[in-house]
Structure 1
Amino acid sequence: MSHDLFEAAKAAMAFSHSPYSKFPVGAAIRADDGKIYTGANIENLSFPQGWCAEPTAIGCMIMGGGKRIVEMAVIAEKLPLCPPCGGCRQKIAEFADKSTPIYLCDEVGVKKTMTLEQMLPGSFETDLLG
């Protein structure tokens, strides 16, 4: 992973709207078009109807013209590591390959790298629908 993806996730965290959890989270995606797309968690009072940082970044990627996630970085301000939640893992799986690296970061840099397959083994896949 190049340092720019980590820096983009860290910068995205500043746009978090997290008045309830008090845990700002940022995510950055490098897409198949070579661009970096970012997102932050956006909470609202009707839990769990807010947006995690990862799907916010995915939405920006799709709206920006990207189609596939090449790599992703996730960072949280007050947590040592912040892996995507289960729902986010499935959302990531819709736009990534099983070998897509996901970097879990702290304020200094990448602390752990996992593939999507390691994070979500046996994920629901659209080809199972026939």
Structure 2
Amino acid sequence: MTDQQLITAALLAQKNAYVPYSKFPVGAAVLTKSGKVFTGCNVENASYGSTTCAERTAIAKAVSEGEREFSAIAIVCGSGEYCSPCGSCRQIITEFGEDIRVLMANKDGEYREKLSAELLPGFFKL
């Protein structure tokens, strides 16, 4: 799968975002080392702490299907900015590998790439 195909999958997932409060839809698509793609979108809640990020949704779907090895994740948001994962999502992504390619895209599909460990230096691990 190409980077652009992964970003397209994230853009499609973004359309399902439930964002009545922030109006800031985010989509994510994670690529497993076995070649499968799992998508997610953000799901907001009136109790903001219960909101689920797109990245965590995609990773949780993959893990629930038995996948734990990821090669890349694409993240897109509804602005012209490159969509960077929040701190919690950075920790969760890095939990599954320090060398996961993180494709941070904008609404036009343009992107910047970093490795998961680059986004969270000094990440927590046991």
Q: Give the structure-1-normalised TM-score.
A: 0.90
Write the distance in 1 (CA, Å) between the matches of 2:57 and 2:80: 19
1:24–1:78 contact (8 Å) kept in structure 2: no
In the alignment, which residue of structure 2 is the partner of 1:14? 15
TM superposition shift of 1:64? 2.2
How far has the Cα of 1:79 moved from its partner?
A: 4.6
Q: Shift of residue 33 of structure 1?
A: 2.0
User: How far off its partner does 1:78 sit?
Assistant: 2.5
Instruction: Give distance in 2, aligned partners of 1:120 and 1:66.
Output: 22
- What 5-or-longer segments of structure 1 have no aligned partner? none
- 1:100-125 Cα offsets, whole Å, 9 max, x none, are 11001112223211111110001001
How many percent identity over aligned positions? 37
What secondary structure is seen at the aligned counterpart in 2 of 1:4?
helix
Equivalent pair of 1:103/1:110 in contact (CA under 8 Å):
no
Q: How do residues 84-123 of structure 1 correspond to structure 2 at under 5 angstroms?
A: 84-95=85-96, 97-123=97-123
SS in 1 for 2:64: helix
Whole-angstrom distance in 2 between the partners of 1:17 and 1:93: 25
Q: Which amino acid aligns with 2:37?
A: I
Q: Normalising by structure 2, what TM-score?
A: 0.93
Structure 2 contact 71–99 (Cα < 8 Å) conserved: no
Aligned residue number for residue 84 of structure 2: 83
How many residue pairs get matched? Answer: 125
8 Å CA contact retained: 2:93, 2:100: no
1:34 & 1:63 partners in 2: Cα distance?
16
| Secondary structure of the structure 1 residue equivalent to 2:15 | helix
The residue type paired with residue 119 of structure 2 is M
The match for 1:26 is 27
Which amino acid counterpart does residue 121 of structure 1 have in structure 2? P
